[in-house]
Structure 1
Amino acid sequence: MSRRSFIQHSAWGALALTLPKPSSLFQSSQMGIVVHSYASRWNSKTPSSTFPGFTNALDLMQHCHQIGAGGIQVVVRDWGDEFSKKVRSQREKWDMYLEGSISLPRTAEDVSRFEQDVKNAKEAGAQVLRTVCMNGRRYESLKTAQEFQEFKKNAIQSLQWAEPVVRKHKVKLAVENHKDWRATELAATMRQLDSPWVGVTLDFGNSIALLEKPMEVVQTLLPFLMSTHVKDMGVQEYDDGFLLSEVPLGEGILDLPAIVALCQKQNPTVTFNLEMITRDPLKIPCLQPEYWATMAEVSGAEAAAIIRMIREKKSKTDLPVLSDKTVEERLNIEEKNILESLNFSRKTLKLT
């Protein structure tokens, strides 16, 4: 979709036209976009003339270029050599960066698949590959302390299979704090691996779900910083704990300027990747016994500090709910949230 077509068709375009310098909305920015920011449009099966779905990395990159993002972080899986070269050509044409999002090998036999994905991502121009050790959330996926220990064992094994591959191909593998590892656990795993090719994708807000203060997470994981997921978080109490929701940058509880400054000081070449997921608030049931099955190391003082933070910083209005919206309404809100966040990144975070 062209810029002109986007402004004409999107309800959000009306706000873009009110800016003193409309072109500034679309100028190049160091802030890139994580594919999950477009959860509704990525591989969308719902036709929309205003917000057509993205079928692959080329579609996503084209749109992100049009709205002024500096790059993308996108899933790399089963790319062929020809497709990787097309991505590289488009990326170089627009002077955008590319980071891959890649699945770890789960068995020794899966290492060959992992290596092929690494090679394809590197051919396309990626030097950093974000990954996760668990696709779900710790307090939902794991029911016992023994299950967490098994997860930890398997995750470390997967990383040990992956490390020689990324070292061979000279690309960096960045593990996200994905509501699975607490920061101290992930840091300990990085020290155990002790590889310059394996580090961390620092997600600014995820670890609140594991009762961790955001700035303490940042300080703990900074030594291993290779990439980021930039987001802001809104919070509110509910009967079983608290609600946690991504909100447009600047509307939540995180000290984004301070976090960005710390990241830049630690790693001047680090990328800042917007992960503005437009969805219903997540329920963090920290007042239910089941939540604590894998969280025995969390002290009462730590839990109390997070509950106090939630009460002091809770959103003054209800957190946004998307499940009661039409598909077209969700798509419009998703784009609006991303554009607002990019604008904040330029004006306040100075990522231009």
Structure 2
Amino acid sequence: MKKLNRREAVKHLSMLAAGVSLASETAYAANAKPETGLGIVMYDCKFRRALLRNQDKSVDLYEPFRFLRHCHLLGAGGAHVGLGAMSSAKAGKFRDEAARYGMFVDAILSPPKDERDLPRFEAEVKAASEVGVQSARTVIIPGRRYERFKSFEEFQAFERRGRRMVELAVPIVEKFRVPLAIENHKDQRIEDRVKLYDHIDSEYVGACVDTGNSFALLDDVYGSIEALAPFAFSVHFKDQALTEYADGFLLGDIPLGQGSFDLKRMMTILRTKKPELNFSLEVITRDPLRVPCLKDDYWKSVAEASGSDLARSLRFVRNHQAKGQTISTLPLAKQVEYEDANIAASLKYARQELGL
């Protein structure tokens, strides 16, 4: 494997992040070889992407090769990124480069909307197969349920649509033997997601386990992970800062180890069921999300949650409060600094405290 020397690493980072402090670039350059098995989800880097695009419209940090190299410079063990459709030659080149870095890859793709969308989906799954991904992560219901839907019936209609998309996807992911990892994306509650997996009944359809999302639907923090663990193909590993507010609670991504969750417990649950499972960091630098579970509108779409679910969730928030970050009022360069620091702190915690 060709190793980047300090001069090459700093040059690369200066091209990536002009306008960010030299101290930040130097810190990244020092991590030019993998130091943790934890991967990085591309959404972690949205502010850095925006900064680069402001400087040069032709530069996109989410371009697969560019993102892979960026993750490598940060010392990450994997890249969770949208691959799109690639030629076999390009996919092979990507696979070989990831292998040289000793990194795993998870793809991100959209499910087939209908029969007409199957060629696009098949092309992306084929590319993922040729890259040699751990899994291909997808989302089957749009938006945060309690924000997107005005009634339980409206949600159920989209739930049926999501199930049909998975049914369409099955023959293709089975053909290419690419595990389709459906994220718990503040959409279905865990009991219903497990029913979906049982209904599909395919060894190539399972979970991208997001360790924080289901709490927004008043699922049990650790019980939800226990339920999803047998189906896990990939992990969006996150900590969350929980805080009470008048209409419910705030849910904010925070560097690993600084939030409200027992990350070692979560990791143990997942690794007990899937010892070889790779984890990817998801720490989206932003203001905390509002979960208005004490307002009537919330319950119009989350109708199956119970009063005991609400009580348990609010007790957990009260007993495990942590302060989130306010980012939206800052200039972009400062937002990038926060984003960089959140990623760096999380990778360090994963390596030193979790052994990832």
Does TM-score exceed 0.5, indicating one fold? yes
Q: Which amino acid aligns with 1:269?
A: E
Gaps of 5+ in 2: 1-6
Shift of 1:153: 0.8
Partner of 1:350: 355
Shift of 1:47: 2.2
Shift of 1:81: 3.9
TM-score by length of 1: 0.91
Q: Is the 8 A contact 1:35 1:74 kept in 2?
A: yes
Gaps of 5+ in 1: none
Task: Find the partner of 1:157 among 148, 164, 174.
Answer: 164
Q: Is the 8 A contact 2:31 2:73 kept in 1?
A: no
Structure-2 change in CA distance of 1:127 and 1:305 (3 Å) = closer
| Identical positions, percent | 34
Task: Find the partner of 2:339 among 325, 331, 334.
Answer: 334
Structure 2 residue 50 is the aligned partner of structure 1 residue 45: no
Task: Find the partner of 1:287 among 282, 294, 306.
Answer: 294
Instruction: Name the SS of the counterpart of 1:280 in structure 2.
Output: coil
Partner of 1:118: 125
CA RMSD of aligned residues (A): 2.4
Structure 2 residue 332 is the aligned partner of structure 1 residue 323: no
* Moved beyond 6 Å, runs of 4+: 14-17
Answer with 205-214 or 224-233: which moved more.
Answer: 205-214
Partner of 2:260: 253
Structure 2 residue 90 is the aligned partner of structure 1 residue 103: no
Partner of 1:238: 245
Q: Is the 8 A contact 1:183 1:217 kept in 2?
A: yes
Q: How many residues align?
A: 343
Q: Is the 8 A contact 1:234 1:244 kept in 2?
A: yes
Structure-2 change in CA distance of 1:133 and 1:92 (3 Å) = same
Shift of 1:95: 2.1
Answer with 116-125 or 274-283: which moved more.
Answer: 116-125
Shift of 1:205: 0.5
TM-score by length of 2: 0.90
Instruction: Name the SS of the counterpart of 1:115 in structure 2.
Output: helix
Q: Is the 8 A contact 1:245 1:282 kept in 2?
A: yes
Separation in 2, partners of 1:16, 1:304: 47
Partner of 1:88: 95
Structure 2 residue 53 is the aligned partner of structure 1 residue 70: no
Task: Find the partner of 1:174 among 181, 186, 189.
Answer: 181
Answer with 72-81 or 105-114: which moved more.
Answer: 72-81
Structure-2 change in CA distance of 1:81 and 1:15 (3 Å) = closer
Instruction: Name the SS of the counterpart of 1:324 in structure 2.
Output: coil
Partner of 2:4: none
Shift of 1:73: 0.8
Q: Is the 8 A contact 1:47 1:53 kept in 2?
A: no
Q: Is the 8 A contact 1:25 1:343 kept in 2?
A: no
Structure-2 change in CA distance of 1:42 and 1:122 (3 Å) = farther
Instruction: Name the SS of the counterpart of 1:45 in structure 2.
Output: helix
Q: Is the 8 A contact 2:32 2:72 kept in 1?
A: no
